[in-house]
Structure formats: structure tokens, C-alpha cells
Amino acid sequence: MSNTHTEKSPEQAALWLDEAERRDEELASGKVKGIPGEEVFARIESRYSKQLMLSR
């Protein structure tokens, strides 16, 4: 049985490579700014902890 979440066709792999190269170029050129991982995880935790409190 194949696992569609981990196995990629050559076409999918090429699309992901194109996307990664585009994003890398945007970061290198300064077109976009990266967000530190700690900040990303803090935002996620804040967002979902509020949703959990509201659902109780």
C-alpha cells in the first residue's frame, strides 16, 4: 500500500523544488522576511489555546 503523504511523483517533487527555490530567492532578495520559529510556535499556541478555552 502506498502512502500518499510521503511518496511523491516526479512531477510533485519538481513542483516542490520550484516552490522551495522561489521562496529561497524571495528571502535572499529581501522581498519577504522570515519569522523566527519561536515566534511562529508562540502564535500557534496562542491561537489554539484561545480556541480550546472557547470550546469548553
pLDDT for residue 1: 46
The residue type at 41: F
Distance CA 56, CA 52 (A): 7
Tens digit of each residue's pLDDT (9 = 90 or more) over 5-27: 678 899 999 999 999 999 999 99
More confident residue, 56 or 25: 25
pLDDT reading at 39 higher than 90: yes
Cell matching residue 16: 516542490
